[in-house]
Amino acid sequence: MTTARPESDLRLGSWLQTGSTVVAEIADASGFDWLLIDLEHGCGTEATVLPQIQVIRHASAIVRVGAPHPEQIARSLDWGAAGIMVPMVSTAEKAEACVRAMRYPPRGDRGLAGMVRGFQYGLHRDMPSPVFYAQIETIEGVQNARAIAEVDGVDVLFVGPMDLKLQLQSYPERSHLDFAACLREVASAAGAAGKACGLLCRQADDFAELQALGFTHLAIETDITLLRESYRKVIQPFRPEKA
C-alpha cells in the first residue's frame, strides 16, 4: 500500500493573481513555502512582478511566465525570482528550451548581468540555480512526462488541472487515461526520475490522497478565489440568494 510522504516533504504554495503587493505580503506572512506570481492568467503585468518579489521575504517567489519567452524568464530571474513555471510543457524538447533560457552557459543561453537584484545589485555573485516547474497540462505532456522528468534542470512536474481536464474532455480519442490516471502517471514519472511533482488544488481536495500519490508541491487556491469565497461568506447571511 502506498503511504503518504513525510510532512517535511510537503511544500505548500498559493497563486497570486491580483498583482497586489499588499496581498503578496499578507500571503508571505501567512506561512506558505512558495508563492506563484501569475503572468499567464493573472491581473498583474511585468511591472508588478518586481514589487511583489520585493515583499515576499519568507516564501520562495516563483513566476509563471505567459509562454517560454527567454527575455521574460531572464528578467524575472534577474529581479530575484527563485524559480520559473512555464505552462504547456508537452515535450522534452520544450523543457530543454526552458532550461536553457533559465541557465547561464555552458548549460544554457541566459545573459549575465552582475548588477541585477538577483545578485543583490553586485554585492554578491553567488546565485542558487533557479527552480523549474514544468507545467503538465496537455495529453501530450502526460504521455511525455517521463521524458520531460529526465531533462536535467527540470525540478518539478506541475499538473495544471483545468487545462488537462479540458483536453481530456475535448479529445477523448487521444488518451485512454482519465484525470485520476493522469495524476498517477505524472507522479510516477516524477518519482522515477527523482523529481518532485505538484498540483494546483482547491481547499476541498483530498490532500492526504495526493500526498500518498507523491505530490509534494501543492498550491492551495488563488488570491482571487480566496477573496471571492471570503466575500461570499460575509454576504451570505444577509443575501442568501447571492450564495
Residue-wise pLDDT for 83-111, tens only, equals 999 999 999 999 999 999 999 999 999 99
Domain that residue 223 falls in: 8-242
Percent share of the chain, pLDDT over 90:
91
Q: Does a structural domain hold residue 2?
A: no
pLDDT on residue 1 = 28
CB-CB contact of 219 with 200 (8 Å): yes
Q: Does a structural domain hold residue 27?
A: yes
Q: Does a structural domain hold residue 230?
A: yes
pTM score, two decimals?
A: 0.93
Q: Does a structural domain hold residue 1?
A: no
Beta-sheet strands, E only, within 5-53: 11-16, 34-38
pLDDT on residue 232 = 94
pLDDT on residue 128 = 76
Q: What is the DSSP string of 142-175?
A: HHTHHHHHTSTT--EEEE-HHHHHHHHHH-GGG-
pLDDT on residue 2 = 33
pLDDT on residue 4 = 39
Phi, psi of 198 (to 5 degrees): -145, 175
Q: Does a structural domain hold residue 168?
A: yes
Residue-wise pLDDT for 8-32, tens only, equals 589 999 999 999 999 999 999 999 9
* pLDDT score of 3 more than 60: no
- Res. 240 pLDDT band, cuts 50 70 90: confident
CATH of the domain at 177: 3.20.20.60
* Number of domains making up the chain: 1
* pLDDT score of 6 more than 80: no
Q: Does a structural domain hold residue 216?
A: yes
Tell me whether residue 69 is one of the annotated catalytic residues: no
pLDDT on residue 242 = 66
The answer for residues whose C-beta is within 8 angstroms of residue 15's C-beta and 6 or more apart is 35, 36, 38, 42, 200, 219, 221, 222, 223, 224
CB-count burial class (<10 Å; 0-12, 13-18, 19+) for 234: exposed
The answer for residues whose C-beta is within 8 angstroms of residue 229's C-beta and 6 or more apart is none
- Catalytic residue, candidates 41, 58, 69, 124: 41
* pLDDT score of 5 more than 90: no
Q: Does a structural domain hold residue 134?
A: yes
**Cross-strand pairs, 84:** 63, 132
- Res. 117 pLDDT band, cuts 50 70 90: very high
Q: Does a structural domain hold residue 3?
A: no
Q: 3-state DSSP call for residue 64?
A: strand
- Provide mean pLDDT across the span 210-230: 97
Whole-number Å distance between alpha carbons of 194 and 157: 11
**Cross-strand pairs, 217:** 11, 198
CB-CB contact of 162 with 179 (8 Å): no
Q: How many CB atoms lie within 10 A of CB 100?
A: 18
